């Protein structure tokens, strides 16, 4: 007896999406078009599938149909709260008809600073691919004769019942800090970058010249993976749609401090320093906005990880931060010099600090301190002169708290005092064991053994 195998009733949306991406990257245009169209029919609120229908049509040379898909996507995405998707669609459209790049001005007006439409809003969630869809959908698209025309219609049609129209539009981090005219100038300078799974977006150690906004997909942030003691690669974070990274490239010439790798098919908006500089007359506040955004993110990271802040509750943390000032430190610059009066307490905000001490004419490197670590606490705890020199090993930034404030903080918050005394004691011991006995100068006070 022969048994006929029934076709599966459902298929994984991820399987369908992966096959579509593989066909798209492999140049199988008609197959990719059918699969993306099937995905659009099964998951009508998944905007990325609609974008790829337009992209495939461009590769097939059908620019008119591609423009129709992009135009509808740009308008709809902006209205339902997905401005980054709208920007990608408009940039794709402008590649076909440059005059249509003016549509970016509408996005900037709706999402720029001062827009009456901005606020706390709710938007339709983009569906993930970890779900089953009706296998019959793919089967139907596999047999359609007018695949180009029907795919265009499917990708250009938006049913009202599928979408929630938000009363307020959610601001875009960083970009919505700009006035509409400046926002528009920045968008005109932006470039769309596509990355496949496994491709690097940026690489640790390379010179940075741009920052990125993730319009679609997800990426992995990691550090290490080189040679020597830091060879082990460490995953730092995973970022999803709407995330911003690499912004420090606009503030300094420091090399990239991490590698960012695409975990899936990604669309990114690249804001290049040179392209932005060419439009600097119209985006004078972008540098200020980037600096404010970067500082806030660095501060949040330090507050979350630094021991001195961990001793405080949330309100105390936010209050204390106000008393710190941010100081940019060029590579090689001395922050603390051995044998001088302490000016205050420092916390590394960005970069690396090299700590060294001179004893008996011999210079000994004691430590390299990174983000979140304190400098100068021993001189404050013990009311002594500084006993080591600290200089920037690379372009860096520190938070500085004037000595008077630091002393009052110790006196008023026992948990902070305990933390500073513990770190001080540990570093004194480390310093004593790091310096060869023959090189040690005779110190009048054991507090002089470190900073």
CA distances from 448 to 75, 345, 373, 403, 416 (A): 67, 16, 20, 17, 21
Mean pLDDT of the chain: 85
**Position 444 confidence tier, pLDDT thresholds 50, 70, 90:** very low
Q: Which two tokens stand for residue 290?
A: 């980037």
Using CB atoms within 10 Å of the CB of residue 250, give its burial: 0 to 12 exposed, 13 to 18 middle, 19+ buried. Answer: buried
pTM score of the predicted model: 0.75
Residue range(s) of every CATH 2.60.120.10 domain in the chain: 190-281, 307-449
Rg over alpha carbons for the chain, rounded to the nearest Å, is 28
Q: How many CB atoms lie within 10 A of CB 28?
A: 16
Rounded distance, CA 320 to CA 309, Å? Answer: 8
Rounded distance, CA 387 to CA 356, Å? Answer: 9
Is pLDDT of 417 > 60?
yes
Residue 259, beta-bridge partner list: 222
pLDDT of res. 279: 66
Nearest C-alpha neighbor of 401 from the set 418, 377, 369: 377
Homologous superfamily, domain 307-449: Jelly Rolls (2.60.120.10)
Nearest C-alpha neighbor of 210 from the set 198, 220, 199, 202: 202
Nearest C-alpha neighbor of 410 from the set 399, 400, 421, 402: 421
**Position 72 confidence tier, pLDDT thresholds 50, 70, 90:** very high
Q: Which two tokens stand for residue 61?
A: 């040379």
The CATH number that domain 190-281 falls under is 2.60.120.10
Is pLDDT of 445 > 50?
no
Rounded distance, CA 98 to CA 87, Å? Answer: 14
Model pLDDT for residues 83-136, shown as the tens digit of each residue: 999 999 999 999 999 999 999 999 999 999 999 999 887 788 888 888 899 999
Using CB atoms within 10 Å of the CB of residue 92, give its burial: 0 to 12 exposed, 13 to 18 middle, 19+ buried. Answer: buried
Model pLDDT for residues 237-258, shown as the tens digit of each residue: 899 999 999 887 777 667 888 8
Q: How many CB atoms lie within 10 A of CB 329?
A: 23
pLDDT of res. 6: 62
Model pLDDT for residues 360-399, shown as the tens digit of each residue: 788 888 889 888 888 888 888 888 888 899 999 988 889 8
Rounded distance, CA 267 to CA 214, Å? Answer: 6
Alpha helices, H only, 279-413: 286-305, 307-310, 314-321, 377-381, 403-412
Q: Which two tokens stand for residue 226?
A: 């080189």
């Amino acid at each position: 007896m022969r048994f006929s195998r029934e076709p599966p009733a459902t298929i994984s949306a991820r399987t369908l999406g992966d096959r579509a991406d593989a066909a798209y990257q492999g140049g199988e245009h008609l197959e990719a078009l059918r699969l993306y169209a099937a995905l659009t029919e099964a998951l009508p609120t998944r905007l990325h599938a609609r974008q790829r229908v337009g992209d495939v049509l461009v590769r097939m040379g059908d620019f008119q149909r591609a423009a129709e898909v992009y135009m509808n996507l740009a308008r709809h995405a902006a209205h339902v709260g997905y401005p980054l998707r709208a920007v990608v669609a408009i940039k794709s459209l402008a590649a076909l008809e440059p005059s249509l790049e003016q549509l970016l001005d509408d996005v900037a007006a709706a999402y720029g600073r001062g827009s009456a439409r901005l606020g706390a809003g709710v938007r339709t969630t983009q569906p993930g691919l970890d779900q089953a869809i009706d296998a019959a959908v793919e089967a139907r698209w596999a047999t359609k004769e007018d695949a180009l025309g029907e795919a265009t219609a499917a990708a250009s049609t938006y049913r009202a019942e599928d979408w929630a129209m938000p009363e307020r539009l959610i601001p875009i981090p960083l970009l919505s800090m700009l006035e509409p005219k400046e926002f528009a100038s920045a968008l005109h300078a932006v470039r769309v970058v596509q990355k496949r799974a496994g491709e690097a977006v940026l690489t640790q150690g390379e010179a940075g010249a741009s920052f990125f906004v993730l319009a679609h997909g997800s990426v992995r942030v990691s550090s290490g993976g080189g040679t020597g003691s830091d060879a082990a690669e460490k995953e730092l974070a995973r970022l999803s749609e709407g995330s911003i990274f690499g912004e420090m490239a606009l503030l300094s010439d420091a090399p990239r401090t991490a590698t960012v790798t695409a975990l899936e098919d990604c669309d990114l908006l690249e804001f290049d320093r040179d392209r932005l500089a060419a439009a600097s007359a119209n985006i004078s506040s972008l540098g200020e906005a980037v600096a404010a955004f970067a500082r806030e993110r660095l501060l949040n990271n330090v507050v979350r990880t630094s021991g001195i802040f961990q001793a405080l509750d949330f309100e105390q943390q936010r209050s204390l931060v106000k008393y710190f000032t941010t100081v940019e430190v060029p590579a090689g610059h001395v922050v603390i010099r051995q044998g001088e009066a302490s000016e205050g307490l420092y916390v590394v905000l960005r970069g690396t600090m090299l700590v060294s001490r001179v004893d008996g004419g011999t210079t000994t490197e004691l430590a390299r301190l990174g983000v979140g670590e304190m400098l100068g606490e021993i001189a404050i705890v013990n009311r002594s002169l500084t006993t080591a020199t600290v200089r920037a090993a690379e372009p860096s930034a520190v938070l500085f708290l004037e000595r008077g404030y630091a002393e009052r903080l110790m006196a008023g918050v026992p948990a902070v005092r305990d933390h500073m005394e513990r770190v001080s004691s540990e570093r004194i011991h480390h310093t004593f064991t790091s310096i060869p006995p023959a090189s040690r100068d005779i110190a009048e006070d054991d507090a002089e053994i470190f900073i």
